[in-house]
Amino acid sequence: MSTAFNVIATLIAKPGQQDTLEKRLRELLEPTRLEAGCEQYDLYQDLQHPQTFYMLERWSDDAALADHDQSAHIQSFRAKAADVIEHFELKRLTLLA
């Protein structure tokens, strides 16, 4: 049985592409928040490094995240944002306390 977990996605824009990356990330918010199993999907920007964005997510189970990963809006994001992302990292977390 899968249990809920959190995800932190870190995305760093290429030089001069911060505004474009932010726009593309904002386009993901509404459709993702409507997905089955999405409990949280919030966008943050690093105050000291404004080219760095974090997506804080909570998913009900592995299947929900897998469905999200294959969704049309994520596939479209990947195609549109590939040339503006310098770095991407995804970390899965479990709450301990």
pLDDT digits (tens, 9 = 90+) for 28-74: 999 999 999 999 999 999 999 999 999 999 999 999 999 999 999 99
pLDDT of residue 51: 98
pLDDT of residue 2: 64
**Which domains does the chain show, CATH number per domain?**
5-93 (3.30.70.100)
pLDDT of residue 20: 97
Task: Name the band, by pLDDT with cuts 50, 70 and 90, for residue 94.
Answer: confident
Write down the mean pLDDT value for the chain: 95
- 49 class by beta-carbon count within 10 Å (0-12 exposed, 13-18 middle, 19+ buried): exposed
The three-state secondary structure class of 31 is: helix
